[in-house]
Amino acid sequence: MNTPIFRLGLTALCFSFAQLTLAAEPAATLAIDATKPGAVINKNIYGQFAEHLGHCIYEGIWVGPDSPIPNTKGYRNDVLAALKTLAVPQLRWPGGCFADEYHWRDGIGPREKRPSMYNSHWGGVVENNSFGTHEFLELCELLAIEPYVCLNVGSGSVQEAMEWVEYMTSPASSPMANLRRANGRDQPWKVPYMAIGNESWDCGGNMTPEFYADNYRRYNTFVKNYVSGDANRISRIACGANADNYNWTEVMMKNVPARSMNGLALHFYTIPTGNWSAKGSATDFAEAQYHATLVRTLKMEELIAKHGAIMDKYDPAKKVGMVIDEWGIWTDVEKGTNPGFLYQQNTLRDAILAAINLHLFQAHADRITMANIAQMVNVLQAMILTDKEKMLVTPTYHVFEMFKVHQGATSLPFTLTTPDYVLGEAKIPAVSASASRDAAGKIHVSLANANPNTAITITAALVGVTAKSVSGRILTAPAVNSHNTFAAPDVVKPVAFDGAKFAGGQLTLTLPAKCVVVLTLE
């Protein structure tokens, strides 16, 4: 990391609200045409990821029914309530790298009789398998979440995967379905999404794309739909590329017929320093690293475009969705924590980064059908942090909660002209945006101002909009490294925003520095 010119903090003048009164207010323009609706924004873009990693599952989601921490059937009540508010559409489990060493039979039956396992990927801890198939799928039922299960291709077998699918989804009087019944579940679960392995180019088996493509076709043959009807069909997600490995996408699209896969995954993490060995602090960074982090996260736009172009070549009808099922910021772990647990704090920087990425996903709603931020609780860019009986929600949680109005809404085309946020020789667009119309006819416009120093005035022309009023919420804080702690859990939280005016078909507002805003027009 470059030697910082100054440190971010509550007293840093260039990050304070006071400077807003001194800084000039550059202008941006936004033109939204509601007469030309675009693609529907798949609700699954707002998916989550829960891996057996650190305290995501154990202590984060699951404490067991005998825990003194208030719980419902072993699930933390505070976490359940927070996730219910978030309206999580789908949840990926059990990994991640963990998925390709997970053997599902170890996680069924009476908990006291389940064998323990060694988690070789994450911290070298021994897990008791008290959270398994039944616990995961019952969690999804409690919260009306659609399950997204990742099958073990790396260390498992075709038979093991086939029998797990039967165990979860078959209504027949068959060996696996009857084993499920013996373990207390009569009716099958609906599991609409299944991944055929995870990161098969690395921790999932170090395969070549050609070898994986053949394995995908083999495993996929035995992922059967045990209940007829399109509503019960399993969508199969193939392992896709790591970041800019475009050859992987080329081979998969060439060697696997589009009719055989519903989605092709893509994984990309934002590393603040660009150095995996020293990724940078989650909270202690200068403006130079803040800016560099956003420059790096915008690599996502290039990845979507280039992988999308390859997919279009083989699948012009866009039947295969792009599934970005691991994304987010990855920093160094917090001091004093297990390096293998990937526990990091979560700041306003992360909230702005999340908004930028969600805007990118929505801009490509015709191709991107799912996404899963990493991860849900206590790991990487988490929604929720816990410490024994304490819990807090993060700035990233608030962005997902504010943006949930876009889930399932119809995207509206827009043209945005924005000033740049420049630092040194690097620059990025200061403002990012998205617009949609929901089933009730309300129009929602989300905006993020990445510039930490300067407010930006926006004039928006609205075509085909009959709304007469505007309301909104804003997420900001004294500094871009502001974050919530267990002692001060509300440092970063949304409040009402009254800085927008709507009149004569035109919307005007001043977007404060370093903020995320969601407006509702009705």
Tokens coding 130: 């008290």
- Annotated active-site residue in 163, 166, 199, 401: 199
Backbone angles phi, psi at 358, to 5 degrees: -65, -35
The answer to whether residue 334 is catalytic is: no
pLDDT digit of tens for each residue in the chain (522 aa)? 333 333 333 333 334 333 433 445 789 999 999 999 999 999 999 999 999 999 999 999 999 999 999 999 999 999 999 999 999 999 999 999 999 999 999 999 999 999 999 999 998 999 999 999 999 999 999 999 999 999 999 999 999 999 999 999 999 999 999 999 999 999 999 999 999 999 999 999 999 999 999 999 999 999 999 998 887 899 999 999 999 999 999 999 999 999 999 999 999 999 999 999 999 999 999 999 999 999 999 999 999 999 999 999 999 999 999 999 999 999 999 999 999 999 999 999 999 999 999 999 999 999 999 999 999 999 999 999 999 999 999 999 999 999 999 999 999 999 999 999 999 999 999 999 999 999 999 999 999 999 999 999 999 999 999 888 999 999 999 999 999 999 999 999 999 999 999 887 789 999 999 999 999 999
As a whole number of angstroms, the distance between CA 286 and CA 264 comes to: 37
Fold: same for 13-37+413-521 and 43-406: no
The answer to whether the beta carbons of residues 115 and 212 sit under 8 Å apart is: no
CATH domain 43-406 topology: TIM Barrel (3.20.20)
Ordered by start, the domain boundaries in the chain are 13-37+413-521, 43-406
- Whether this prediction's pTM lies above 0.75 is answered by yes
Is the alpha carbon torsion for 189, 193, 198, 201 positive or negative?
Answer: positive
Q: What pLDDT, on the 0 to 100 scale, is given for residue 18?
A: 38
The answer to whether the beta carbons of residues 78 and 70 sit under 8 Å apart is: yes
* Three-state SS at 470: strand
The answer to whether residue 199 is catalytic is: yes
Angle, helix 287-297 to helix 299-314, in steps of 10 degrees = 0
The answer to whether the beta carbons of residues 308 and 316 sit under 8 Å apart is: no
Contacts 24+ apart (CB under 8 A), 55-58: 55/341, 55/343, 55/377, 55/378, 55/379, 55/386, 56/375, 56/376, 56/377, 56/378, 56/379, 56/382, 57/131, 58/127, 58/130, 58/131
Task: Tell which residue, 457, 470, 478, 521, has the closest CA to residue 498.
Answer: 470
Within 13 Å and on the Cβ side, how many CA atoms surround 331? 23
- Annotated active-site residue in 326, 389, 401, 425: 326
Q: What pLDDT, on the 0 to 100 scale, is given for residue 24?
A: 52
Beta-carbon contacts of 439 under 8 Å, excluding residues fewer than 6 positions away, are: 408, 409
Q: What pLDDT, on the 0 to 100 scale, is given for residue 228?
A: 87
For tokens 């940078």, name the residue: 280
- Whether CATH 3.40.50.720 fits 13-37+413-521: no
